[in-house]
């Protein structure tokens, strides 16, 4: 059967039947009344033939539900466009040669997990020599000077380190996302970076984490966002190629890369998903 991707909805038992599963918690003690309340709520969501398949207590006065229903809306998958940075992927040696030729010095990268977030798995996967799934981290590239501040770094300390080292790129990993705290932290960091007078205009701001993608990162003021599945080699190539774009976007690129405060004009695109991790020089 030829499938029309211009009109699709969730698949359950057969093509386009719209069957979906939902789960949620209500502030009600587990009871027949709570089960019916859950069914009614699913109905109000627009689900046809709602069924509460599972109910269990979630502490005093709360209940957790799993339900099924039929969703009516359809989408046109052929018109979906995913915001993403785009850039070529070079081998490690080719990238090292490119940086040597175009910059004549190692690029300085400062990374860390900010706020109360104590997770370093992501930042380590990208920055540390070991990398992830056989893809070596940015410490493995002699064209980078990697400074990994690791976990629970305040925005103030991060900005100070970036300013002191005259960094070319800042990489921030966020995992704790309760009440969208990761987004508020990222917004605060962008405000602080804008207020710091000693940062070059070309500074790349990169965010990563399980609930970060390029669209979300751009919406809070970052230049790029990388979510689950991102490889260190992708981040390395993005950094180099984007800095070259910004360098060439200025009439006097050499001066700009040395710290001219003129505004960068180049944007970017390419699918990057997954990330951010640590290990590195802390000076």
Rounded mean pLDDT of 226-235?
92
Given this model, what pLDDT does residue 2 score?
78
Asked if 202 contacts 226 with a C-beta cutoff of 8 angstroms, the reply is no
| Residue 172, strand partner residues | 112, 207
Q: What percent of the chain has pLDDT over 90?
A: 69
CB 177 within 8 A of CB 212: no
Q: Quick one: residue 49, left, alpha or beta (phi over 0 = left, psi -120 to 50 = alpha)?
A: left
Q: Which two tokens stand for residue 236?
A: 């390395």
- Structural domain span for residue 169: 92-257
Lowest-pLDDT choice from 142-151, 230-239, 242-251: 242-251
Residue 254 above 80 pLDDT?
A: no
Is residue 220 located within the same domain as residue 176? yes
pLDDT number for residue 231: 94
Tokens coding 73: 């809306």
Given 77, 107, 124, which residue is the final one in a domain? 77
Q: Report which of residues 114 and 25 the model is more confident about.
A: 25
pLDDT of residue 198: 87
Q: Tokens 């997990």 belong to which residue?
A: 113
Give yes or no for a contact between 229 and 271, defined as CB atoms under 8 angstroms apart: no
Has residue 87 got a pLDDT over 50? yes
Residues assigned a catalytic role: 130
Q: Which helix (H) or strand (E) holds 68?
A: strand 63-70
Which DSSP helix (H) or strand (E) runs through 194?
helix 181-195
Q: What is the pLDDT of residues 103-119, one digit of tens each?
A: 999 999 999 998 887 78
Asked if residue 220 belongs to a domain, the reply is yes
159 shares a domain with 64: no
In this structure, the chain runs to a length of 283
Whether residue 278 has pLDDT greater than 50: no
Same domain, 205 and 176: yes
Q: What is the CATH number of the domain that holds 209?
A: 3.40.50.280
pLDDT in tens, 167-192: 999 999 987 677 777 888 899 999 99
Q: pLDDT band for position 1 (50/70/90)?
A: low
The structural domain count of the chain equals 2
Q: In what order do the strands lie in the sheet with 63-70?
A: 19-26, 63-70, 48-57
- State the pTM of this model: 0.73
Question: Which of 132, 145, 134 has the alpha carbon at shortest distance from 230?
Answer: 132
Residues 238 and 167 in one domain: yes
Q: What percent of the chain has pLDDT over 70?
A: 87
Please list the alpha-helical segments (H only) found in 49-113.
92-102
Put residue 61 in one of left, alpha, beta given phi > 0 → left and psi -120 to 50 → alpha.
left
33-40's contacts with Cβ under 8 Å and 24+ in sequence apart are: 34/63, 35/65, 38/63, 38/65, 38/67, 39/67
28 falls within a domain: yes
Query: Could you tell me if 51 and 140 lie in one domain?
Result: no
- Give the residues across from 52 on adjacent strands: 67
> Do residue 41 and residue 159 come from a single domain?
no
In a domain, 36, yes or no: yes
Please tell me whether residues 175 and 221 are part of one structural domain: yes
> Which residues are CB-contacts of 249 (< 8 A; sequence separation ≥ 6)?
264, 265, 266
Asked if residue 73 is part of any domain, the answer here is yes
**Contacts within 8 Å (CB) and 24+ apart, 92-100:** 92/136, 92/140, 92/141, 92/233, 92/236, 95/141, 95/143, 95/236, 95/237, 95/240, 96/141, 96/142, 96/143, 98/143, 98/240, 98/244, 99/143, 99/240, 100/143
Same domain flag for 115 and 189:
yes
Asked if residue 231 and residue 129 are part of one domain, the reply reads yes
pLDDT at 3: 84
Strand bridging mode 204-208 / 169-173? parallel
Strands 63-70 and 48-57: antiparallel
Question: What's the token pair of residue 111?
Answer: 């990374």
Within-domain flag for 149: yes
Distance between CA 225 and CA 273 in Å, rounded?
8
Residues 54 and 120 in one domain: no
Asked whether residue 283 is assigned to any structural domain, the reply reads no
pLDDT given at position 181: 79
The reply to whether 210 falls in a domain is: yes
Judge whether 83 lies within some domain. no
Does one domain contain both 240 and 100? yes
**Average pLDDT across the chain, whole number:** 86
- Which pLDDT belongs to residue 229? 87
CATH of residue 62's domain is: 3.30.30.60
Instruction: Determine which of 45-49, 74-78, 83-87, 150-154 has the lowest per-residue pLDDT on average.
Output: 83-87
Q: Using the predicted structure, report yes or no on whether residue 164 has a pLDDT greater than 50.
A: yes
Residues 35 and 150 in one domain: no
Residue 122 has pLDDT above 60, yes or no: yes
């Amino acid at each position: 059967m030829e499938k029309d991707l211009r009109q699709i909805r969730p698949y359950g038992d057969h093509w386009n039947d719209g069957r979906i599963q939902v789960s949620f918690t209500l502030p009600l003690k587990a009871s027949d009344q709570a089960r019916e309340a859950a069914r009614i709520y699913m109905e109000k969501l627009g689900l046809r033939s709602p069924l509460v398949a599972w109910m269990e207590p979630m502490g005093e006065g709360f209940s957790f539900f799993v339900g099924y229903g039929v969703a009516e809306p359809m989408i046109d998958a052929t018109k979906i466009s995913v915001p993403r940075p785009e850039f070529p992927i070079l081998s490690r040696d080719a990238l090292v040669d490119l940086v040597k030729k175009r910059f004549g010095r190692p690029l300085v990268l400062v990374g860390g997990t900010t706020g109360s977030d104590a997770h370093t798995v992501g930042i380590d996967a990208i920055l540390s020599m070991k990398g992830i799934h056989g893809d070596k981290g940015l410490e493995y590239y002699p064209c980078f000077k990697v400074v990994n501040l690791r976990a629970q770094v305040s925005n103030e300390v991060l900005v100070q380190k970036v300013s002191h080292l005259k960094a070319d790129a800042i990489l921030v990993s966020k995992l704790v996302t309760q009440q969208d705290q990761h987004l508020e932290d990222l917004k605060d960091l962008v405000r602080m970076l804008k207020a710091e007078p000693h940062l070059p205009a070309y500074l790349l701001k990169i965010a990563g984490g399980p609930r970060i993608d390029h669209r979300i990162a751009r919406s809070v003021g970052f230049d790029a966002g990388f979510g689950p599945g991102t490889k260190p080699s992708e981040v390395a190539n993005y950094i180099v190629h984007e800095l070259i774009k910004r360098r060439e976007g200025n009439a006097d690129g050499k001066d700009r890369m040395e710290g001219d405060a003129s505004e960068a004009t180049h944007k970017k695109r390419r699918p990057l998903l997954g990330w951010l991790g640590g290990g590195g020089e802390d000076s």
